[in-house]
Amino acid sequence: MATIGLDRLYYAKITEESNGDETYETPVPLAKAISAELSVELAEATLYADDGAAEIIKEFRNGTLSLGIDDIGLKAAGDLTGATIDDNHVLISTSEDGGDPVAVGFRAKKANGKYRYFWLYRVKFGIPATNLATKGDTITFSTPTIEGTVLRRNMLDGQGKHPWKAEVNEGDEGVNQAVITGWFSEVYEPTFANGESGE
């Protein structure tokens, strides 16, 4: 079903354990969302045998998340890009900056009035793009865009795989309402029938 809106943009800082597994801090609002574009790059391999394709493998390699936002704010800019805030509360960006990966969550409104919810488990952001324009005869809004590389998690889920995205549609059959209501209170951890999760 088509989506007609976007809101509730959150991020959660990641702490890596000694074995490389991730734990997430409590999610906090990032900014007001204007747009989100997610593109995915796959690693592909084809095995040829008996003069034809015998096996084809397509696996997630990485992705790109481009967010149009109203204003990133000092704290979020520091958390996402590695910039620092000086003693006068001025954001200082240096050539040595490089933020740590974070989890990013948001939701998109569907045409039926319900929402599709997302968590991207590891996103490493670059420096936000700044677009400025002089005031003319008409009002033009200039807003920042921030782009990040989407990576898979280090931690295995209950099926022994490395997830990179969690996505759920509100109102789908079998979706527990508690999953929807708690979506932004913590980063979603996969749970499977055998009782194991990524925790």
| DSSP codes, 73-123 | -HHHHHHHH--EE-TTS-EE--TT--PPPEEEEEEEEBTTS-EEEEEEEEE
Report the C-alpha gap between 15 and 21 in whole angstroms.
Answer: 8
Tokens 């574009």 identify what position? 37
Domain segments of the chain: what residues?
7-181
pLDDT in tens, 80-123: 888 888 888 887 877 677 778 999 999 988 888 889 899 999 99
**pLDDT score at 121:** 94
pLDDT in tens, 127-169: 766 655 556 666 555 567 788 888 889 898 988 888 999 999 9
| Total Cβ atoms within 10 A of residue 33 | 20
Tokens (6 digits) for 139 = 């009002």
Report the C-alpha gap between 130 and 82 in whole angstroms.
Answer: 17
End-to-end Cα distance, the chain: 32
pLDDT in tens, 174-183: 999 999 999 9
Kindly state the average pLDDT of the residues 16-38.
Answer: 85
Radius of gyration in angstroms for the set of CA atoms belonging to the chain, rounded to a whole number = 19
**pLDDT score at 180:** 93
**What is the DSSP code string of 125-154?**
E-PPB-------SS------EEEEEEE--S
Kindly state the average pLDDT of the residues 31-54.
Answer: 76
Report the C-alpha gap between 104 and 62 in whole angstroms.
Answer: 15
| pLDDT > 70 fraction of the chain, expressed in percent and rounded | 83
| Total Cβ atoms within 10 A of residue 38 | 15
The DSSP secondary-structure symbol of 27 reads P
Q: What is the mean pLDDT of the chain?
A: 81
Q: How far is CA 12 from the centre of its chain?
A: 10
Given a cut of 70, is residue 3 above it in pLDDT? no
